[in-house]
Structure 1
């Protein structure tokens, strides 16, 4: 023990970490978005994002979001992957501490007649039982930072896994909102088409009555009947599209599509939320995919240190002490005491270039992670630009489309009046009605596209611009079939006895 104490005292001065320390790479950022203020970004996915979907003031959408967060299967898998990464990080950190174990053995052995001995054995050997009750201690001194770099990489991987959970959650929420608004657009279109069917049905009855009275032509009757049938066929097509969106939402909510229903809404679409003036770049910095890529880069940097440490000696403190006897009754006697202790040094001399290749691999993985981080950042900027462009142009399109709808409805009214007065053919009424229905549906579609563009912007910004609510790993509804093994309250020997008494295989 006399030489171990100075070694342990000098460890603090000798401890070092080989490999590069991680520094976030600089990113070339534009001075501003196109029309929006901008400054240099630093990933900060931990900042609060809030329940952004409440900006749309739709109670049904709020209800769907709660269900999707609790029951989505992709989210459950992502949270399980986060739990794995967190456990792996803690395992890597545990390597910093000593390992203490107590192997107990009872066996029968025969010693060699030619064993190394300070006195001639002359054919003597031992054959019989051997009982051992010892304690083993092993502690690797992390003099060059191999274990600490591994723990650093594990922490970064766990943080990246948490960002992946937030990224999947944000994608699920955006998909739910997008499909929901598309479905509400179809509800409005179906309502407009059904109203058109009613109006065209009345026109058909009038045309039929005019033919029967000898005041109309069969051509007008056939044309009006065609318009009714065409509108009825369009209703079936729209309803089929709605059913598909409803089934897609059911999957996102972890529900059975066969029994999942969302009642049709007869109310008009809400106006999109107002975009805050000069959205700062720190909103973009919260994007979980950007932070996930940055954490992956940090982990790859730390693993370069692990690979470099493989070139240096590995020093372990090893100790073994306990009792050994050929007679179990004498096992715990002082005379049965045995012990050994001392350092174990492993100096890498030759490995066929394995350590060099491993270091080259770690550096290449770092370069790959660096490219992935830069790509994630550039993609984030482009996503924001695309969403802002859509919002601006759709606002102009919505205003123009509303004017077109008003003029089309006025033209249809004039065409009916002129037809009833006998100054215009029925074909003018048909064309005016078709144009009116088309512009009404286009107006609804543009309104829905504006809502979807707002959702896309919120997703591009990492979860909206409301920073009043914290973001945590969501609490999901456990799957009843998940294999959660409860901790037993029985003692150790009862557990061992239970294992040997089981008739079915014991799962790990």
Structure 2
């Protein structure tokens, strides 16, 4: 039988352990499958001529709001991307995650430090083999040395930690893009709400003018004795009612303007937007394929990266069952006299752990490793469920906005017919009232109907514009062509990728 010499045994053991450095026990990450429909149920047949785009999360989102052709909206979006505080906070969180990634990667390299200073020590007589009452003098020892520490990644613990930090940083980047997309959509929807209220305000201004003219006519007829005071009182009531409702619209517009100012990172007192009634918005947004949502939506990308980080943390928990190898050492000078510290004869070195052992393996920990692994696996299962729910929610949001745009288009056409009919009825009632064939109450009813139908029409236009924004947001943004990779070093706007429209 051949025996390994004792002097070679530690070297062979160390070599064997180093060979294990490439043996990782961490399970490779695989993205869980999700059920993806072949097409959106609510996708209109008119979108069939669109070529489905297939960008990835690493491709920059475009300035999709430019499809509305509104220079004021373009300016507001740029201001929001530059000054919104929520976006700056998201950028700061992204910077924190990147710093943590650097910290995790630093464990792959040796840790070197240097120190200088004296120690004053007195060893007990018994520790030197002397009687307890023996002579033991104190000693001052000066040291100037460098220490080196390095963990050999035998079973992938360090690599798994880096993978977890990297996936977390990517998750934060996707969350930053999600906040950015939400901000862009909120600004656009807030802007269209403001313009919708401007249209209502203009409608009430016209109504107040018409009712003022009607009141003058009724007043003249009352003065001439042609009508009773009842018609005069009704005319005054309708005028005051229109004025009151106009003030209500003005109040809601002020609140909407204040909310928009906050999105722009400005105080409400420092922001005002001149009135401009909303014009008809007629753009078509391609729904594309449902599978594209898995690549385009930043919140889905964030949920997927959270799963990858959780999987890596499961690997870190698994490595707790295996040995850890730490190589340490020290090199420098030691002397009892500061003047002799840096003499060649005062040199010293230590190869091996300064405290403890080089190779460590926990034997009994009361179930701590089991608990850590169970917690990591439960976190992984939670992130899987969150990912699948995020995908389902994305499909629902797209279907909701597709259905909303389809139904709103039909509703708008029907409402336009209602406006035309109500307007004609009001004209006829005015003529018949002047001829004395109908009462003033009929004129009031017709006038109210016109105001109601026009107000509904303006609200539908605002809803259509906001639904178009909602669909673009649900689809993850807009694009026309590939762009350069995004740079999330700041919260500034990215280069455009426009959503095409007819």
Q: When the two structures are superposed, what TM-score results if normalisation uses the length of structure 2?
A: 0.89
Q: Displacement of 1:283 after TM fit?
A: 4.8
Paired with 1:349 and 1:178, the residues of 2 have a C-alpha distance of 61
Match of 1:23 in 2: 30
Q: Displacement of 1:474 after TM fit?
A: 7.0
Which residue of 263, 283, 290 corresponds with 1:252? 263
Paired with 2:30 and 2:478, the residues of 1 have a C-alpha distance of 28
Which residue of 153, 157, 181 corresponds with 1:170? 181
Match of 2:4 in 1: none
Deviations 1:371-418 (A, max 9, x none): 000000110011111110001000000100111111111111111111
| 2:90 is the alignment partner of 1:78 | yes
Match of 1:323 in 2: 333
Tell me if the contact between 1:43 and 1:294 (Cα under 8 Å) persists in the aligned partners: no
Indicate the larger mover: 224-233 or 409-418.
409-418
Paired with 1:40 and 1:214, the residues of 2 have a C-alpha distance of 72
Q: Displacement of 1:275 after TM fit?
A: 2.4
Deviations 1:229-277 (A, max 9, x none): 00000011101111111111111111111222111114x4241322237
Paired with 1:9 and 1:312, the residues of 2 have a C-alpha distance of 15
Paired with 2:315 and 2:197, the residues of 1 have a C-alpha distance of 57
Match of 1:376 in 2: 390
Tell me if the contact between 2:104 and 2:161 (Cα under 8 Å) persists in the aligned partners: yes
| 2:459 is the alignment partner of 1:445 | yes
Paired with 1:212 and 1:319, the residues of 2 have a C-alpha distance of 110
Match of 2:402 in 1: 388
Match of 2:3 in 1: none
| 2:364 is the alignment partner of 1:350 | yes
Task: Classify the secondary structure of the residue corresponding to 1:114.
Answer: helix
The 1:438–1:474 alpha-carbon spacing in structure 2 relative to 1, beyond 3 Å, is: farther
Match of 1:32 in 2: 39
Deviations 1:427-447 (A, max 9, x none): 111111111111111111111
Task: Classify the secondary structure of the residue corresponding to 1:136.
Answer: strand
Which residue of 435, 445, 450 corresponds with 1:431? 445
Aligned ranges for residues 206-221 of structure 1 at < 5 Å?
206-221=217-232
Paired with 1:213 and 1:424, the residues of 2 have a C-alpha distance of 19
Deviations 1:199-234 (A, max 9, x none): 000110111111111222211111111110000000
The 1:452–1:469 alpha-carbon spacing in structure 2 relative to 1, beyond 3 Å, is: farther
**Count, aligned residues:** 475
Task: Classify the secondary structure of the residue corresponding to 1:475.
Answer: coil
The 1:104–1:121 alpha-carbon spacing in structure 2 relative to 1, beyond 3 Å, is: farther
The 1:42–1:198 alpha-carbon spacing in structure 2 relative to 1, beyond 3 Å, is: closer
| 2:299 is the alignment partner of 1:285 | no
Match of 2:117 in 1: 105
Tell me if the contact between 2:21 and 2:153 (Cα under 8 Å) persists in the aligned partners: no
The 1:39–1:339 alpha-carbon spacing in structure 2 relative to 1, beyond 3 Å, is: farther
Match of 1:486 in 2: none
Q: Displacement of 1:5 after TM fit?
A: 9.6
Which residue of 368, 374, 389 corresponds with 1:360? 374
The 1:468–1:274 alpha-carbon spacing in structure 2 relative to 1, beyond 3 Å, is: farther
Which residue of 107, 110, 118 corresponds with 1:95? 107
Paired with 1:283 and 1:114, the residues of 2 have a C-alpha distance of 75
Tell me if the contact between 2:150 and 2:326 (Cα under 8 Å) persists in the aligned partners: yes
The 1:28–1:43 alpha-carbon spacing in structure 2 relative to 1, beyond 3 Å, is: farther
Q: Displacement of 1:41 after TM fit?
A: 12
Tell me if the contact between 2:55 and 2:482 (Cα under 8 Å) persists in the aligned partners: no
Q: Which runs of 5+ in 1 are unaligned?
A: 478-508
Q: Which runs of 5+ in 2 are unaligned?
A: 1-6, 493-502
RMSD: 2.5
Paired with 1:283 and 1:298, the residues of 2 have a C-alpha distance of 19
Deviations 1:111-168 (A, max 9, x none): 3322246x99993434243210011111110010000000000000000000110111
Q: When the two structures are superposed, what TM-score results if normalisation uses the length of structure 1?
A: 0.88
